[in-house]
Amino acid sequence: MTMKSNYAIWSERHRPNTLDECVLEALSPSQEAFVRALQKGSRLPNLLFYGSPGTGKTTVARILCASKRYCVHQFNGSLIGKSDVAEELQKYALSGAMLFSEQRVMLIDEIDGITEQGQMALRALMEDPRVTTAWVLTCNLRKKLIEPLRSRLIEIDFNCPTLEHRQRHFKGILRRCGQVLAAEGINDIPDDQLRDMIELDYPDLRKIITSLQMKFGYRHAA
């Protein structure tokens, strides 16, 4: 694991840089295979990652975009939601010719923070033949997105639909918590204790990792 020691907050310090470090069990097996294949490919399609907070949407989106093959522009929908989205995005989507080997990617987090009007503008931009950009979007609430926008995106669900699915996901989170603690030099926390802590904030892995830091981080600081 790459140590980003300049981050004091564990959930940031241990944000995965690779898909193998990610808990991907919330995805269906076919969606997981699809995401892994995307990482090996040379182009990205238009994607929407949706699901509850702290489940890895931004992390996976960044990993997929972190390739020299892409020229990535990053936005936060909750911030641009208040300004003139179309103008702002158009500026980047249409700006300058790309090197032939690069694909322009617009990574917009929290797209559900954009107004319906803004989403309509985004949809129009997606259909503009001059725009060859790939759009990678994340949101918590899929139902806040207008249907014409959703129908232009490949949707990846970060929520677990069944109890069996959640159990598999829970195990993945337990594994990840063990890795985070081990990276902090902590190897003596019994699984039962970890399970109880995970249950409190499941499925929000950001919160779970923060509560690990609250409980065990004093050893790190000492």
Ligand X SMILES: Nc1ncnc2c1ncn2[C@@H]1O[C@H](COP(=O)(O)OP(=O)(O)O)[C@@H](O)[C@H]1O
Contact 211, 197 (CB under 8 A): yes
Task: Compute CA distances 82 → 48, 116, 118, 128, whole Å.
Answer: 21, 12, 9, 23
Q: Which of Mg ion, ligand X, none interacts with 176 (beta carbon under 5 to 8 A by kind)?
A: ligand X
Q: Which 8-state DSSP code applies to residue 110?
A: -
Q: Which is nearer to ligand X, 73 or 206 (CB)?
A: 206
Amino acid sitting at position 175 = R
CB atoms within 10 A of CB 98: 13
Amino acid sitting at position 15 = R
- Select the residue interacting with ligand X from 27, 58, 135, 177 (CB under 6 A): 58
Residue 22 to residue 76: CA distance in whole angstroms: 22
Q: Which is nearer to ligand X, 19 or 86 (CB)?
A: 19
Q: Which is nearer to Mg ion, 56 or 184 (CB)?
A: 56
- Select the residue interacting with ligand X from 106, 153, 205, 212 (CB under 6 A): 205
Stretch that binds ligand X, among 115-123, 149-157, 192-200, 204-212 (CB under 6 A): 204-212
Q: Which residues touch 172 (CB under 8 Å, ≥6 apart)?
A: 23, 24, 25, 26
Contact 65, 72 (CB under 8 A): yes
- Select the residue interacting with ligand X from 27, 35, 38, 54 (CB under 6 A): 54
- Select the residue interacting with Mg ion from 13, 44, 51, 58 (CB under 5 A): 58
Contact 105, 71 (CB under 8 A): yes
- Select the residue interacting with ligand X from 7, 45, 46, 57 (CB under 6 A): 57
Binding mask 105-144 vs ligand X (x if CB under 6 A, - otherwise)?
---------------------------------x------
| 211 interacts with ligand X by CB under 6 A | no
Query: Where do contacts with ligand X occur on this chain (CB under 6 A)?
Result: 11-12, 14-16, 22-23, 53-59, 138, 176, 205-206, 209
